[in-house]
Structure 1
Amino acid sequence: MPGNGAVTRSTLRQQIADALRDEVLAGRMQPGQEFTVKEIAEQYGVSATPVREALVDLSAQGLLDAVQHRGFEVHAYSLDDYRGMIEARSLVTDGIFHRLVHGEGGAAADDPRRAAALAVVRRRGEEAERAASAGDLNILIGYDLRFWRELSALFGNPYLADFLHRLRVRSWVCAVQHLRRATDLRGRLWSGHTGLVDALARRDSDAAGAVLAAYNAHSLALLEHLAAR
């Protein structure tokens, strides 16, 4: 059945893309590191077609660069790139926070389903905070991405939620290129997830914005410090 084959290939393509993204986030694939479709296909024991498609997808997301006649390489981000990502994230999240607080776009502000959904997001934030306090970057990234994806999903616009998720993935790819230089990150990573959710639960967009501004300032200051070293 042709349909089944298409689904299988599409799923494999996504699985490879996810695996390579995780390799970059874990620091096992370094900025500027080059590789070919053949090398990745042999590594995962699959054909070249889904690998090529996955690499093209990751290039479109800004995680890889195509190198003419040589394959692909991990994109190297600068601190200026990170500053630009912070600005872009802020423009999106400010709008999301405002509409979540005032009940526009997604569930109404007084909808009990919204309160239940925020409680789920808050538990995700608690896990992220524990990982941040322990300095466990790999676990933090996983929970942080789920936290923001689930929070932005409350807005009710899947296109905007997907855009923010991709932007946050790129932000983490940029950040880990500097954070991996630190020997101990315990107590140095931002851990204000629950405070952000609590502000939104109180319908206080100003407080939510202040939490986000503190997060951006903290993250940028840490990366600047590590880059200077």
Structure 2
Amino acid sequence: MCASGAVTRSTLRQQIADALRDEVLAGRLLPGREFTVKQIAEQYGVSATPVREALFDLSAQGLLESDQHRGFRVHQFSVADYRAMVEARALVMDGVIRDVFRDQAPSRHGGYGDALVSVRRRAEEAARAARCGDLDILIGYDLRFWREVGGLVGNGYISDFLHRLRVQAWMFAVPYLRGDADMRDWLWKGHAELVAAITHRDRDALRAVIDDYNGHALSWADRLADHPATPGRP
């Protein structure tokens, strides 16, 4: 009974954390929004313990800030923070590109072909959502796409680090993108090109696509810095 209860609580904790993360990424919980454990527990109709654990998990991921007296607040990233995320991502990816698939033939990777099929499918869906300007669909597919691409590298620590950066980057970007009449122009659509470069093990092409990915994000950051806007408003 104890083990079963622990699993149930752990699962509930993860479900609450996932639900709140989705609310943040969807822009329904805006930066600076404050709430308490009690409010969230009442909202989801659960006890305070898994809610508190979920909120501390999200705080550890940099999505929330905790205040002993006021509860929790959705973290507010600045343009400088976003630019630093992109630069950190670029540095890590540069190292990955240097070493990825080094001295290894495709046949040596168990399940590599099957993994590429899945990644290619995610790429198609993400690119389609980006072209349509469907932000909610794009975020889900984009995060899963990069998560699966990271899985091809075979280093869970790198994959987890990059995933966390991308969640934070989307968290920053969503409120601005929703209020931007030119949003579609600023949604990166190069997922298929990245998969093609990986499939052909073309390191130069892979570097070019990643450089475009990061350059696209930095250009958007420059635009925000030059023309400050209130999140959620044009």
Pairwise same-fold verdict (TM > 0.5): yes
Q: Secondary structure at the match of 2:153?
A: coil
Once the two structures are superposed, what CA deviation does each residue of 1:65-102 show, in whole Å capped at 9, x if it has no partner?
01230100000001111111112112222233333332
Pair 1:186-2:184 in alignment? yes
CA distance in 1, matches of 2:97, 2:121: 19
2:167 to 149, 166, 169: 169
Whether the aligned pair in 2 keeps the contact of 1:132 and 1:187 (CA below 8 Å) is: no
Deviation at 1:131, TM superposition (A): 0.2
Q: Check the 8 A contact 2:82/2:221 in 1, yes or no.
A: no
Amino acid at match of 1:149: R
Unaligned stretches of 5+ residues in structure 2: 230-234
TM-score by length of 1: 0.92
Give the drift of 1:45.
0.4
Q: 1:223 offset after TM fit, Å?
A: 4.0
Q: Percent identity?
A: 62
Distance 2:68 2:83 in 1: 29
Q: Distance in 2 between matches of 1:214 and 1:118?
A: 21
| Equivalent residue number for residue 22 of structure 1 | 22
**Are residues 1:64 and 2:64 paired?**
yes
* Structure-1 residue corresponding to 2:49: 49
| Bigger mean CA offset, 173-182 vs 32-41 | 173-182
Contact 1:101 1:204 in 2 (8 A): no
Specify the alignment match of 2:223 in structure 1: 225
Residue deviations 1:172-203 (CA, integer Å, cap 9, x gap): 11221321221453343110001011112221
Q: Quote the Cα distance in structure 2 between the aligned partners of 1:67 and 1:218.
A: 35
1:117 CA displacement = 1.7
Match of 1:139 among 137, 140, 144: 137
CA displacement 1:118-155 (0-9 Å, x = unmatched): 23201110100000000011110100000011111111
Match of 2:232 in 1: none
SS across alignment from 1:186? helix
CA contact (8 A) 1:97 1:200 kept: no
| 1:121–1:197 Cα contact (<8 Å) kept | yes
Name 1:73's counterpart in structure 2. 73
SS at match of 1:197: helix
For this pair of structures, how many residues does the alignment match? 226
Q: Which of 112, 115, 118 in structure 2 is aligned with 1:120?
A: 118
